[in-house]
Structure 1
Amino acid sequence: MNDKLRTDLFGSVGVGLRACHYAHVELNYPAIPWFEVLSDNYLFDGGPGLRHLEKIRAAYPVTLHGVGMSLGSTDVLNWEYFRKLKSLIQRVEPVMVSDHLCWTSFGGQYFHELLPLPYTEEAVRHTAGRIRAVQDFLGQRIMIENVSSYFSCRYAELNEWEFLQAVADEADCFILLDINNIYVSARSHHFNPEDYIAGLNSRRIRQFHLAGFEDRGTHLLDTHSAPVHAPVWELFRQALSKWGAIPAIIEWDNQIPAFERLQYEAAQAQEIMTHHVNFARVSTPVCDGIEFGK
């Protein structure tokens, strides 16, 4: 079992590595504990992007995060894609590998969208089987991330967090819990985001995502183009209270600011996490080695 993320990076906050920040990182080697890398941008044998990644990887731990697995699709798994991904894994030795609990292709056509699945038992079995096949091929467990969604199926048999939990348990994989996506989906589907946190009782969660959304009035749009909003910070605190100081990443993919702005956002998350760790150390009641309230 690859569980390095929980041990090596536990209690730390990193940022997503973007091409516009290569020069800054390579020149200044900022005090960031780790980077999350968009794996789909590096599925090549060479090129400047891969050279930058290898240079940065020599100084920092990285995780690989993708959008192309299409784990919930009815298409045949794209084994050429996974061969390229496995080669990248062998090349950069990431701490963990992740993708989304969704489908992104149909009939061999990729939509470049993270489309939600129907929350049914059939979809649980179908998607979990594909995840197991991918994990067998890659030789390691992966993390699956909850996506933001804007529509739902009338014939759903489970709610979203029950579906996420069921797939992870059936596939024996890990969960990358996107706190921002929980809040965005909660506004779309009119559920209490706190129920989502309360409803996940698994130790499978290995990483958090934090990002900013855009308020369109009628709905929130998951754009990764803004600072983390106050209600998302509050959900983050609740997640920390339940699961502890699990590693977190700041995502910022559109209207990307200077690297120092990302560092400021990561420092805010780190302060919240550190406060949680210190608070838990002095306030969590312990009896016969068992911590209550976890």
Structure 2
Amino acid sequence: MESSRARRGRRAHPAGSRPLLYGALATAVVLGATAMGTAYVKARAHSGVRAVSSAASPSASATESEEASVEPVARPTTDYDELLASAMKAVDVPDGAEVSVAVLDLESGASATHGDGAFDTASIVKVDILAALLLQAQDEGRQLTAAEEAYATAMIEHSDNASASRLWSAIGEAEGLDAANERFGLTGTEGGDGMLWGLTQTTAADQLRLLRQVFGEDSELTGASRTYLRGLMERIAVDQRWGVSAAGGGSGWALKNGWLPRTATGLWDINSVGRVTVDGRACLVAVLSDGNATQAKGISLVEAAAVAAVSVFVGQDASASEAPVSATASS
């Protein structure tokens, strides 16, 4: 059947003019375009990409780009808190006792915490007292005096309580400690009333923050202050080398322990904080506990928790060991 366009062309041109030539040219163009289109579709099909007609899509290139794009696959993240909780299932926590632990892998910066309760510090607060004293000395642009250094050595290496009381007074007791801790980034620690520095309340997470001030680079303490405090923690008296050091196999540690029998209950607060190095990997560890029937049982609990905490970042078969210590002293 003759198209309407052909009829219009016949009316516009008399017989013997050039419409036949135009018709031939038009036919050639249509055939050529059809052949090119067929070749393009075959080529696209051969390459594995679905051909889309321009009539169906206003932007063929945009459609092709969308088809070629691949959604990024999110990398799985490690829940270290969950790993620590799982590791702590192997730790035997006696009835009535409570324990909280926090650990930081210094190499990766990853950390984990198990338990968020507040505990008495006992003598682990002595690290905090010295850190506060060093911060105040820095602000005053001075070094520690000979007397302050003597008190600091006795307080950290031998856990001497009289020396701790001298330096507690020197920093302004709880008010001075709390002011320093605000700058250190501690949020769950409150200094003890009056001279009761051993009843300062803290959390494992806060003790980890304090350890980062001592052993990390991003600190309010100068390099010299950090080196000084770390050195004292590496020279703890032999009879006090228990606690988080158990996670390091007895070597490569710096620590401070605290132990306190509560008069009202007869139960023990046993705590340990510090740095251990296992297979060349350094971890900061803080373990707090209370409600322990004896000092020895509390030490065993703290060491088992420290081993579990470090195992989150360092594979090891180390087991906690119980060190013989006096069950009558407090610190």
Settle same-fold status: TM greater than 0.5. no
Which band: TM-score by shorter chain?
under 0.3
TM-score, reference length from structure 1: 0.28
Q: Which has the larger radius of gyration?
A: 2
